[in-house]
Structure 1
Amino acid sequence: MIKNREGIRKAAAVAGLLLVGVYIVFQTMAFFKGAYALSSLIKDSLLVGVTAGTFYLLYKRSVHTQVSDEQYQLATLINSMPDFICFKDGAGKWMAVNDFGRELYHLKGIDYRGKTDAELGELVPFFQAAFLHCISSDEEAWRKKEKVRTEEAFEIPNGEVKTFDVIKVPVFFDDGSRKALITIGRDITQQKLAEALLIKKEKLSVVGELAAGIAHEIRNPLTSIKGFVQLMKETDRSAIGYANIMLDELERINGIVSEMLLLSKPESEHFRVFSLTEAVKYVMSLTSHEALLKNIDFLYDEQTNSASVYGNKNHLIQVLLNVFKNAIEAMDRPGNIYITIKTAQDNHIFIEVRDEGVGISKDRLEHIGEPFFTLKEKGMGLGLTISSKIIHDHHGTLQIESEQNKGTIVKIRLPVYVKDTAVFASK
């Protein structure tokens, strides 16, 4: 009888190994295609087969029971998978979980077997909310009596929020009672971030096209109006005062139109080599008077000997000017603004501007850089949008870190110009 059982277990292990192979193939296909191509029946069969043929082996291995080479290889394969795989019994008690799952929920060194999500939440308090959420999502799978696919997000100890694509498959006895629940979760955090970035880029592209169209439509009548105002100024001496005011306002409108045009195609024909450190010092001189009025000091730290870049100098000065003005405006009391310039080994230069201002709340920080989103009472909310676009056109990155009542840090990363070539050091 014992021999028959071992034979059945070995057969299950071999079958499980084959199922795992098929499962991985289809999971790989699904990863590249962006969707699961298998039918519901085949997928459920694979998931149940994988679990039935492997978690028994994981358990035997964990209690140091002798297993065959095939069984060991199968258990190793499951434990090496970069997905969360968990097996619970009909009462919701954890029976087995792979290495990825134990590391994810900090279960290493904890005897999790036979414990419910609620009990594990008490043993690992940080994940208590996540464990309690599992109870409700498990119940949904039991209630529907079919495979359930959801997205679950939770915070891990380092502060990062992880998002998982989760499949839960309930298994029932012949009489309809609950037998087991299989959970497989794939980390899609980077995929979600990439999707969000793509959506943001598409929005920016649409706004750029719209802004360029509006700007061109405004600029044409603006030129005519400016011409007639100048004519009025020359022919009617009594209207010189009003004419000057109108011309100043027209120039302001023209400046706004020019900014809107920056959201369209980059003007690479105006790129040339220039010193970024000199550009930073120039912007410091432009904003020093405004900083002095608020008793704010610039603390400059240059940690590089050469900081030449290839780009549109006026556009990058505009970015720096926007960053410096934001830093000054964010400070409601005397203090310091720290400016650091340094180069990295990967042929990039970093500019960091840190203020001691009021900071930005987490929910608002998520929208910084979006078109027409602004924290100011005045303005169109295009400043950081345009700045991000300019930095992107220069193959760089712009990051903003902030904490309320502690200040904000703006980090700009640009490729260093390589001598004797008119290309970027990195693309």
Structure 2
Amino acid sequence: MLTKKGWAAAAAGMMIVLVCQMFLGFIHERNEIESFIYIVLSIILIGGLLYLAVNGYRLLVKYQGVQGEEKRLSALIDSMPDFMCVKDGEGRWLKVNQFGLELYELTRVDYYGKTDSQLGEYTPFFKDALLYCIDSDEAAWENQCLTRTEESFYLRSGEFKTFDVIKVPLYHEDGTRRILITLGRDISQQKRTEAMLLKKEKLSVVGELSAGIAHEIRNPLTSLKGFIQLLNETENVTKEYLTIMSREIDRINQIVSELLVLAKPQSRIHSEFKFNEALDYVVNIMKHEALLLGIAITIKADEKDAVIFGDKNQVVQVLINIIKNALDAMGQKGGEVTVKVEHVEQKLKISIKDQGEGIPPERLKHLGEPFFTLKEKGMGLGLTISNKIIQEHKGCIDIKSELGIGTEVIIQLPLSQ
């Protein structure tokens, strides 16, 4: 078998032989001058033919090499397990891999030069999905940069597919649209796994919540049951028993109220209010309890007229929860709770610092989790609720603590514009 180079050499040789035969026949019948001229012309002709043969061979090899590279690239694209499509600036399909053709059931359709809406006529089941591509393509062109979205649709089999889609628009030098490259990875299984884990996590939380509720409500119910039995055996009902029973019922009511705050959205009235008014209200409520414990509540406010936009009652609830925790942490040993208010950029920073024993690092990281508490009483929902309220006000809570020195709770809330 001759190679490509061999065939080219053979063709060139045949041309030379033909020219030589013509040359010998011609000079046999001509005089010396005519023969000389013909020899020169023949040499030029043979040289030209050789030049054409060699360069033609080079172009052939180069063209076949480009064709080979194109075929290899096309095969690589078709072997991709992801969707890949190239469209021109007018939305016409230029290239799509085998995965994409099979996905949209277009394997028997000549897609080249057709738009999404035109291809939708060939595959009616996926018409809506293809029409959606027109809008998402336009969004990518308008963004003028890489765009990443999730696109979902049903297959004919009934399977629900979700794709992580990346669109890359490319432009000509004059800014006009050139081509749009779309890549899509099937993340359906990942989405199903995430949904399953989320459901499992929810069930776990429900189980934990149920256990916490049962434990916390059982305690006051046990007390109530005992006192009722005692009252049945007592002729004269004492006021002390009734007071204890009333307090236990209040405990149950508080537990249920806290759970409702976490379980469902609460109606809120958002308006502008001065933060120092809310703080003064809380201090007036808490100062009696603080005095009984020998604790002073000191306010250091650089910002007297800071205005917050939100639910004043909820912010008051957060301040009560945190100052109450500070008083509980210090107990009967006395000391000082310092509340510092300052303006930091466009936020109001509120620092509430106690002089308690501090919190060990291994426990500090769990603060704010439902049912985690450092106190003998309570469900550990106070800080969880406070976190939720502050987040809904677009703020944040940070807790710092040092053993033997105390704990500092830092709240940051955006100031009203």
Q: TM-score, normalised by structure 2?
A: 0.42
Max Rg structure: 2
